[in-house]
Amino acid sequence: MTSRKSVLVLGGSSDIGRAAARAFAKAGYDVALAGRDVAALEPDAADLRARYNVEVGLHKFDVLDTAAFESFAGALPALPEIVISIVGLLGVQQDAESDLAHAIAIMRSNYEGPALILGLFAEKFLVRGSGTIVGVSSVAGDRGRASNYVYGSAKAGFSAFLSGLRARASRGGVHVVTVKPGFVRTRMTEGMKLIGPLTVEAPVVGDAILRAVENKTDVVYVSGKWRLVMLIIKTLPEAVFKKLKF
């Protein structure tokens, strides 16, 4: 049995999930990767084992299957020290405006599922008296914009959930981190027009998550530029804001 700390990455097959797993493995953590397609996680697991000599477990997890959350958590070989939720669905705003099923998928993938699974682990951590919860939210949740308000509203809800959970859990020895990456060059954003100075690579996000956990940071804007940008956007009067085309 290993005495190393362990981290569970929900959404382990995403670009940011892979980056986070690598950052923690490099730092000596054992890693559990969870995703809908376990077979797709195998190459990453093999690479982490060979490269960093850590233990890597694979687990099937679907953020929309909330009824299975209890059994998923109970089937883990051990309760990890850290749980990171990187699951999410950007979706297509225009489709979500008229397709209720698509809007539901975006809302459930970015808020309901992540909030419920992290809340479940938070309760287990509170019983133990230690642990770290990490939720990857988005700057899109800082203020609703015409171009992505379905996604943004779900992320806003997720950020608010993490904020409240952090305030409560801190009294029981559990730390909660909210990560807001901004634009990240990944498969999910492929084809989108990204703003160069505000865009980071997935490994930058993975490293930022590791630092936040080890430094017990509460809220992380991966690029500090986004903190200023969103401060400006949040303070714009509504009459001005609703005329902006973004």
| Catalytic residue IDs | 151
3-class state of residue 218 by DSSP: coil
User: Which is it for the CA torsion 224, 160, 204, 130, positive or negative?
Assistant: positive
Write down the H helix ranges in 108-237.
Answer: 113-128, 149-169, 202-215, 224-235
d(CA 238, CA 240): 5
Q: Give the C-alpha distances (Å, rounded to integers) separating 45 from 40, 41, 117, 151, 203.
A: 10, 6, 23, 30, 17
Spatial contact of 151 and 91, defined as CB atoms under 8 Å apart = yes
Please, what's the largest Cα pairwise distance for the chain? 60
Query: How many other CB atoms are there within 10 angstroms of residue 173's CB atom?
Result: 12
Beta strands 82-85 and 6-10: pairing type?
parallel
